Chains A and B, each alone.
Chain A
Amino acid sequence: AQTVTQSQPEMSVQEAETVTLSCTYDTSESDYYLFWYKQPPSRQMILVIRQEAYKQQNATENRFSVNFQKAAKSFSLKISDSQLGDAAMYFCAYRLDSGGGADGLTFGKGTHLIIQP
C-alpha cells in the first residue's frame, strides 16, 4: 500500500519569506501523480500544484514550485514571497496512474503553515 508522510506538523514563516514543506512517499509503482492541496479554515480543499511522475521537470505555479526527487521518493513544496493568504493546512497527496482507471488519492497528515506578519 502507498503511504505519504509529512514530517512537519507545523511550520512558521515571515511574510514575504520563502518556506519549504516536506513530503515523502512510499510506492512500488513507477507511474503516478503527486499533488499539494491547501485547506484554509473554510475546509475547502484547493489544488495548489500537480506533478506527473514521468516528467523530470519540476512543476511550477506562480509562487509555488516543487522539488520532485523520484529516486528518493521526495516531493517538497516551496512557497516564495509568502503571503498572509497562504496560511492554511497543506496536504501532500499521491495517486496511482493505473492506466485508464481512476484511483483515490492517498493523503499525508498535513502541515499547518503559519504566516507571521
Chain B
Amino acid sequence: NAGVMQNPRHLVRRRGQEARLRCSPMKGHSHVYWYRQLPEEGLKFMVYLQKENIIDESGMPKERFSAEFPKEGPSILRIQQVVRGDSAAYFCASSILAGDPNEQFFGPGTRLTVL
C-alpha cells in the first residue's frame, strides 16, 4: 500500500506566479489535511478536506490560497501570485476515518521556493 504521495517534491516559482501542489492520499483514505512548515518552525494546520468538501479552512490565509479535493484525482493546494513569504515546506496528510482512532499519515512534503 503506497503511502501519501506529494508532487512535485521541489517547486521554484518567481514572485507573481502560481504554485500548484498535489497530494494523493493513501488508498482508501478520504480525509486530507494540508500543513505549512516555515523554516525553523513546526507545522501549521491550513485546511482539512473530504472528497468534494472543505471541512475546516481556519488555518488558510484568506487571499491567494485555495484547496480542493475532487471526487476523482488528487487534492490540490493552489497559491496564486506567490510572494517570498510563501517559501516553505507544504505537507499533506491523510486519514481513513474521522474520530478515534484517526492517525494522520504524512506525505514527504513539497518544498516551495519563491525567487
Contact = CB atoms under 8 A, between A and B. Distances in A.
Interface in B35-70: 35, 40-46, 48, 55-56, 59
A44 B45 CA distance: 16
B102 interface: yes
B24 interface: no
A91 to B, nearest CB: 5
A45 B106 contact: yes
Contact of A42 (B48, B102, B104, B108): B108
B41 A109 contact: yes
Interface string A88-105: 000101010101111111
A50 B42 contact: no
B98 A91 contact: no
Given A50-B103, A107-B43, A109-B42, A102 B98 contact: yes
- Interface residues of A, dominant DSSP: loop
B98 to A, nearest CB: 4
B41 to A, nearest CB: 6
A42 B111 CA distance: 12
Contacts of A91: 42-43
B37 to A, nearest CB: 8
Contacts of B103: 47, 50
Interface of B: 31, 33, 35, 40-46, 48, 55-56, 59, 89, 91, 93, 95, 97-100, 102-104, 106, 108-109, 111
Interface of A: 4, 6, 33, 42-47, 50, 52, 91, 93, 95, 97, 99-110
